[in-house]
Amino acid sequence: MTDKIKTARPVKLGITFISRSAPYGHNRANLCLDMALASAVFEQDVSYVFLDDGIYQLLKGQNGGAIQSKTLGNALETLALYGIEDVYADQQSLRARSIDIADLLPGIQLIDHGDISKLIEGSDTVFNL
Amino acid sequence: MKFSIVIYTAPYSSESAATALRFAKSLIQQNHELYRVFFFGDGVHNASKLTIVAQDEINLQHQWHELIEEHDIDSVICVSSALRRGILDRTEAERHELDTASAHDSSEVAGLGQLVDAAMHSDRVVNFG
């Protein structure tokens, strides 16, 4: 990769991940996490939004061991260690599923659809999985 | 415009893998630049060379291979997704002492850093899955 190509876009991108699948039925949630972590490791500016059934990834007290899986919630608790601090739960998705923010892992901020739109608009790249 | 494409789905199971292929062909026809194709999750199956389809059906994996070869496209198979799904290039097959490689050699087995790099150097990253 030449330096010339590298300067074609800003070195630090705003990348937003929108994770909208429940944690254990399909691997989309894991794929989204892997992409977010890789982006953080490569020093991109990551925002992470949990929407629709993606909300279930944030519930406290998960035990993936019961189905021989890794516990996704444990990995999500380490996001701050990777420098991912903008972690949001969609308010409407919570309400539709009767989930209270107190049921969620610590460090999650609430966000509404208007602010999600602004976040998308302000991002260089969005991954929606 | 400079595009990268991410494919999350296996061929034949869902239409999106075939849609991604048609999208890639259209980009090239319209003289856009395809910076990278990234096969992720179940999408790695699109890079398998050990496929046989009925005569009146399309071999999507072979079509990807031909397109990648013909236009010298930078194509990456995510290593962690690929190994657990049996998609191995020669290097990985030898490393793990398996007697065959299963990935088309037109694609390279590499890590998620290549996806972050694609996001950094493309005007658009388009996801299929």
* Predicted ipTM of the assembly: 0.91
In this structure, CATH architecture of domain A3-43+52-70+77-128: 3-Layer(aba) Sandwich (3.40)
B39 min Cα distance to partner chain A (Å): 12
Q: Is B83 on the interface with A (CB under 8 A)?
A: no
Range of the domain at B16: 2-128
- The CATH number of whichever domain residue B115 belongs to comes to 3.40.1260.10
Q: Which of B2, B115, B125 is the closest to A38 by Cβ?
A: B115
* Domains in chain A: boundaries: 3-43+52-70+77-128
pLDDT tops 50 at residue A2: no
pLDDT tens for each residue of B25-47:
999 999 999 999 999 999 999 99
- As for how many domains chain B has, the answer is 1
pLDDT tops 70 at residue A5: no
A11 pLDDT tier (thresholds 50, 70, 90):
confident
- pTM (whole model) above 0.80: yes
pLDDT tops 80 at residue B128: yes
A11 or B111, higher pLDDT:
B111
pLDDT tens for each residue of A49-75:
999 999 999 999 999 999 999 999 999
SS3 state of residue B38? strand
